[in-house]
Structure 1
Amino acid sequence: MVKDKLSNILKDGLFQDGDWIESKDQDPEGKIRLIQLADIGDGFFINKSARFMNKETANKLRCTFLEKGDILVARMPDPLGRCCIFPLEGTEKFVTAVDVCIIRPTKDVCTPYLAYMINSPFNRSEIDRQSTGTTRRRITKKRLGSLEIPLLPLKTQQNIAQILDDAAALRDKTKQLLTEYDLLAQSIFLEMFGDPVINQMNWNTLNLKKLTTKIGSGATPRGGKEAYEKEGMSLIRSLNIHDNKFKLKDLALINEDQAAKLKNVTIKKDDVLINITGASVARCAIVPDEILPARVNQHVSILRSKKNILNPVFLLHLIISPNSKVKFIGVGSSNAATRESITKEQLETFEIIVPQIALQNQFAEKIALIERQKELAQQELKESENLFNCLLQKAFKGELVQ
């Protein structure tokens, strides 16, 4: 199968970086929106930025205006090289930052097909290989242009894009189901206990120190990442903790000597773990049984509840409920000279509602039913992601459509 460089495929189209737009060039009252790196999802547009500039400045800087259907490629992480199709309507209403590359192919190239090929595992690996920088990796437009794209007739490109669109829709439907299960859990919590911050049901309140047997964080072994082992005991870091979700990816391992020095933060079954520093402050999850025995580093705190008065599942869902989350983040931000943080004392003095334990346990039983359904959906998601990746790999090799 014939392949060609991306730059050659786009020689008659548009292939250029966004514009260098500084803070002084921006205007909150402006009508031209600045699309940023944070808007670029991995195959989808996130649509979260809210920065603007006026038309006069955009023209003065000779900015390139985006069009619906443009491919936007992030030249910085994370992940590096991710791209999406720009979905918004409007003439001369959008520009983008210099670390986003704009691709506007000619009509003999199917835009969704090209986006899928850029996001393919092979080209993602190639982007990583060609990236530069130590603290923040990036890839230049020139190196992006060296990516190889399979050359196929337009009709074949369109057929491949449709097959991949259908597979992606199946995957996204399962993702949405998981989101709906989480919303159901949140709805049950609010129905049974009300808003835990407003406390309209007038539950008794106590601080966490009185409701727990352990609150505390650990440390990173001397030597940092270089001290981690290939085998050993789990060391949980903030990147592993997400709201009601524990991510095993990049779980660090330490040896027995390192673990012994952290024996004061030995994690036990059903411990609630909360991130206490940085941008992920207040993210919270219950430790999964399969990673025990384990320790935590200095960015994660253990909350070990007294189970006769505080159910850990109830505590988790209280912390991740919307208003409680805002309250916890507010505590973290109050210490933020440079970085958000929640101290042990602030955790100990944090007051929460304490409904009767029987009611908390009833809630936990309902959540257990939801979690079982989520496990089935997670398996479906894994299968649909495997199908999508298999089809994408075949498409890149020219084996999907003959």
Structure 2
Amino acid sequence: MELVELNKICDLKNGFAFKSKDYVEKSNTLSCRMSSIRPGGNFDLDHNKRFLPDNFSEIYSDYLLKDGDIVIAMTDLAGDPKILGVPTIVKTEGKFLLQNQRVGKLIIKNEDRVFIPFLKYALNRPENKSYYKKFAGGGLQINVGKKEILNNKIPLPNLATQKRIANILDEADKLCQLNKKIIEKYDTLTQSLFLEMFGDPIENQKNWKVNRLKEISIKILSGNTPKGGSKVYVKNGITFFRSQNIWRNRIELDDVVYISQDIHNNMQKSSLKNGDILMTKTGRINTENSSLGRAAMFMGKDNSANINGHVYLIRLKENIINEFVLFILTTYKYREYIRSVCVGGIDKRQINKTHLEEFPIISPPLKLQNEFAKRIQIIAQQKQQAQEALQKSEDLFNSLLQKAFKGELV
């Protein structure tokens, strides 16, 4: 399949740098920002909406987007990984303005040569992520420039073949999206169940007894970064969790690293035990997944893993129901509380240990906590089935994606 530089078929236009003071409470004009682009290449208009004055659609008409336009992420945030270089097709409600230098609109030079849905899939291949990382710079916020994006090469068969490939991939993607929505419903169900049984864990309308986190814990501490940094990582050894591995109620192993047994032995204070709660200590708060304050439970073997300096270890007392405390820490209400007590600048915030120790944890009767834990365990089992179905559908999609660009679907 012929490889063509993107600049032969597209140009790229950045958005306008609207300021936070420009936002209004409600209007028919929205801004298109990084949060509109999801890792899989889907467009999300509903999350974290920002409205602009309606007259902006006339003042900044050069930045108006329409249904079917394709935009691409030019930044990868620590709290919102796997976004860099991801394209998505715009779906609008009312007026929609392209915002800031983090998002670019791809302008097709010849529509008779390019089918936009095909272009989205071509740009979202795994090879592109490796390509962008060669040029990315910026530290916590990693950026890639217009030149690097347009110099990228993509497969470009004839228009009829592009449409056929896009249609096949669209059908496979619909199955993935259906499974994702089912998982989201299970998450919503557990949140609703918690609020029904216990109310808001911060406002505590039901007047439950409240303990400070340090009162129900036997250990609260952060790990260490070994001398030498990444140079000391080994291919096989003790699992070493960093903040990018800790997500909301789950641990991701895609980017996990390992340390030697000797280094682990010198870091025994932060050696993990089954049931330990891990929480990210530093990060950003202005992204969907807010890299600061995410929490998950370690379910591995005792002393088989350790943590670096950006992760807290919370080890609860024996009479405490770990699942209940973890659920509190991962509620949306608690996320707002964490944002209110963290310290630091815009790009990097931190939870101090003294703040963490003072986290308020409601303490309803153990009978109710156990009942809740049993009910969410049933939901978790159903959710696991949905996740397995999602994995199968994503495997099918990725297989079709690889075949498509090897010419095996033509």
TM-score by length of 2: 0.84
1:362 aligns with 2:368: no
- The whole-number CA distance in structure 2 between the counterparts of 1:19 and 1:343 is 36
Partner residue, 2:100:
97
Partner residue, 1:122:
127
- The whole-number CA distance in structure 2 between the counterparts of 1:249 and 1:316 is 22
Match for 1:39: what amino acid? S
Partner residue, 1:9:
9
Deviating more after overlay: 110-119 vs 138-147:
138-147
1:133 aligns with 2:137: yes
- The whole-number CA distance in structure 2 between the counterparts of 1:137 and 1:199 is 40
Partner residue, 2:79:
none
- Aligned pair in 2 of structure 1 residues 6, 259: CA closer, same or farther (>3 Å)? same
Contact 1:246–1:288 under 8 Å retained in 2: no
Q: Of residues 345, 350, 355 in structure 1, which corresponds to 2:359?
A: 350
TM-superposed CA distance for 1:184, in Å, is 1.7
Partner residue, 1:304:
315
Match for 1:94: what amino acid? L
Match for 1:85: what amino acid? I
Q: Of residues 157, 164, 167 in structure 1, which corresponds to 2:169?
A: 164
Partner residue, 1:388:
397
- Aligned pair in 2 of structure 1 residues 138, 202: CA closer, same or farther (>3 Å)? closer
1:373 aligns with 2:368: no
Contact 2:29–2:94 under 8 Å retained in 1: no
1:67 aligns with 2:75: no
- Aligned pair in 2 of structure 1 residues 37, 187: CA closer, same or farther (>3 Å)? closer
CA distances 1:74-115 after superposition (whole Å, capped 9, x unpaired): 233253211111211556x52343343322334423211111
- The whole-number CA distance in structure 1 between the counterparts of 2:297 and 2:309 is 17
- The whole-number CA distance in structure 2 between the counterparts of 1:58 and 1:22 is 14
- Aligned pair in 2 of structure 1 residues 307, 137: CA closer, same or farther (>3 Å)? closer
CA distances 1:149-184 after superposition (whole Å, capped 9, x unpaired): 434343332222121111111011111121111222
TM-superposed CA distance for 1:265, in Å, is 1.9
- Aligned pair in 2 of structure 1 residues 267, 142: CA closer, same or farther (>3 Å)? closer
SS for the counterpart of 1:289 is coil
Cα RMSD (Å): 2.9
TM-superposed CA distance for 1:291, in Å, is 8.5
1:236 aligns with 2:234: no
Partner residue, 2:332:
322
Q: Of residues 87, 90, 114 in structure 2, which corresponds to 1:86?
A: 90
TM-score by length of 1: 0.86
1:282 aligns with 2:280: no
Partner residue, 1:21:
17
Name the count of aligned residue pairs.
390
Deviating more after overlay: 141-150 vs 152-161:
141-150
Partner residue, 2:43:
45
Contact 1:27–1:52 under 8 Å retained in 2: yes
- The whole-number CA distance in structure 2 between the counterparts of 1:84 and 1:176 is 18
TM-superposed CA distance for 1:148, in Å, is 3.4
TM-superposed CA distance for 1:20, in Å, is 5.8
- The whole-number CA distance in structure 2 between the counterparts of 1:55 and 1:216 is 52
SS for the counterpart of 2:367 is helix
- The whole-number CA distance in structure 1 between the counterparts of 2:64 and 2:166 is 26
Contact 1:150–1:398 under 8 Å retained in 2: no
Unaligned segments of structure 1, at least 5 residues: none
Partner residue, 1:195:
200
- The whole-number CA distance in structure 2 between the counterparts of 1:209 and 1:98 is 43
CA distances 1:107-147 after superposition (whole Å, capped 9, x unpaired): 42321111111112234433444x25363654443443343
CA distances 1:192-245 after superposition (whole Å, capped 9, x unpaired): 222222323332222222212222222111122222222221222221111111
Partner residue, 2:260:
255
Q: Of residues 22, 33, 38 in structure 2, which corresponds to 1:36?
A: 33
- Aligned pair in 2 of structure 1 residues 350, 293: CA closer, same or farther (>3 Å)? same
Contact 2:202–2:360 under 8 Å retained in 1: no
- Aligned pair in 2 of structure 1 residues 193, 76: CA closer, same or farther (>3 Å)? closer
Give the greater-gyration-radius structure (CA).
1
Contact 1:34–1:53 under 8 Å retained in 2: no
